[in-house]
Amino acid sequence: MAQTQRERAVRSDSIRNRDAILEAAATCLATNPASSIADIAGAAGVGRVTLYGHFSSRNALLAALLDRTMTRVESELQSVDLGGTPWQAMDALVASSWKLVESLSTLRTVVAQALPDQDLHGSHDRQRARVQELLTRGRAEGEFRVDHSLDWQTACYFAILHGAASEVRTGRLSEHEVEHVLPQTIRALLQVGPQAS
């Protein structure tokens, strides 16, 4: 019984340490993208040996942080109401998604420099699928244009969101301005016009 309790305590400590390391990594990297393993361990209140016990390298830590972050993003996006018309659903998705993109921009930059492209792109599979499902519905209902490929529209959607986040981050646009122009820009990309068929 005592042995079982000790094992549970060790597991509990291990989980707490891992969570503390990931939280510290997110905070440190947002402040200084060049934060070292030593910086992150110090912020987490653990030694480097403990950190390396959970993550074998800085890249392994970044990969775990990316996975944890995208799980949180997915949880938030799952709560977005995509009912109503395709346009209502798109407006709701855009309003939620661009703020998440903006909040994750620093982490994305750090990860993009450190990890292989497939690790970065694979982390967005569920978000990409959600956009494509909505685009497919809008196209089927005659609301979204079909003269551009689904993949191109998806790529443009994410490029526009990342562009908006970059403009806010650099101070060239305010959040209020982005909230006004972003839905209009997405609408211009997708709406059926005289040249679309």
The three-state secondary structure class of 80 is coil
Residues 15 and 109 in one domain: no
Residue-level pLDDT at 120: 60
Residue-level pLDDT at 53: 92
Cβ atoms < 10 Å from Cβ of 118: 8
Q: What is the spatial distance between Cα 177 and Cα 197, in angstroms, rounded to a whole number?
A: 31
Domain's final residue, options 11, 34, 56 = 56
Residue-level pLDDT at 196: 44
Q: What is the pLDDT of residues 162-183, one digit of tens each?
A: 888 888 888 898 989 998 999 9
Residues 77 and 98 in one domain: yes
Residue-level pLDDT at 197: 43
Domain count, the chain: 2
Mean pLDDT by groups of 10 residues along the chain of 197 residues? 56 83 90 90 93 91 87 85 93 88 75 69 78 96 96 94 86 90 94 66
Q: In Å, how far are 31, 74, 85, 92, 180 from 134, measured between CA atoms?
A: 35, 16, 10, 11, 21
Q: In the structure encoding, which two tokens stand for residue 25, read together?
A: 């990594």
Nearest to 101 by CA among 182, 193, 31: 182
